[in-house]
Amino acid sequence: MNLLVTGGCGFIGSNFIRQRLTEAGSPLQRLVNLDVLTYAGNPANLADLAGDPRYVFVHGDIGDEALVARLLAEHHIDAIVNFAAESHVDRSIDSPEPFIQTNVVGTLRLLNAARRHWSALPAGAKAAFRFLHVSTDEVYGTLHAGDAPWNEECPYEPNSPYAASKAASDHLVRSFQHTYGFPTLTTNCSNNYGPYHFPEKLIPLVILNALEGKPLPVYGDGQQIRDWLYVEDHATAIWLVLQKGRVGETYNVGGLNERPNLEIVRRICQLLNAKSPRADGQSYDRQITFVADRPGHDRRYAIDSTKLRRELGWAPRENFDTGIEKTVDWYLRHRDWAADITQRRYQRQRLGTGS
- pLDDT value of residue 63: 97
How far is residue 194 from each of residues 7, 199, 288, 347, 354, measured CA to CA in Å? Answer: 17, 11, 21, 26, 26
- pLDDT value of residue 199: 87
Spans in the chain with pLDDT lower than 50: 346-355
Q: Give the three-state DSSP class for 303.
A: strand
- pLDDT value of residue 344: 62
CA–CA distance, 244 with 311 (Å, rounded to integer): 9
Active-site residue, 212 included: no
Q: Give the three-state DSSP class for 34.
A: strand
**Residue 163 Cα to chain centre, angstroms:** 13
What is the four-CA torsion angle of 126, 173, 109, 123, rounded to 10 degrees? 10
Helix axes 65-74, 107-119, angle to 10 degrees: 40
CATH of 2-194+229-261+296-321, one of 3.40.50.720, 3.40.50.880, 2.60.120.10, 3.40.718.10: 3.40.50.720
Active-site residue, 293 included: no
- pLDDT value of residue 349: 37
The domain segmentation of the chain, as residue ranges, is 2-194+229-261+296-321
Given the residues 78, 86, 137, 232, the one annotated as active site: 137
Pick from 216, 197, 227: nearest CA to 327: 197
Model-wide pTM > 0.85? yes
* 9 contact partners, CB below 8 Å, separation of at least 6: 33, 35, 37, 41, 42, 43, 45, 46, 57
Given the residues 35, 78, 140, 162, the one annotated as active site: 162
Query: For the chain, what is the radius of gyration of the CA atoms?
Result: 20
Given the residues 35, 138, 298, 318, the one annotated as active site: 138
- pLDDT value of residue 345: 53
* 290 contact partners, CB below 8 Å, separation of at least 6: 217, 218, 219, 220, 221, 222
Terminal Cα-to-Cα distance of the chain (whole angstroms) = 37
Burial group, residue 190, by CB count within 10 angstroms (0-12, 13-18, 19+): buried
- pLDDT value of residue 352: 31
Active-site residue, 221 included: no
Question: Residue 252 phi/psi, 5° resolution?
Answer: -85, 140
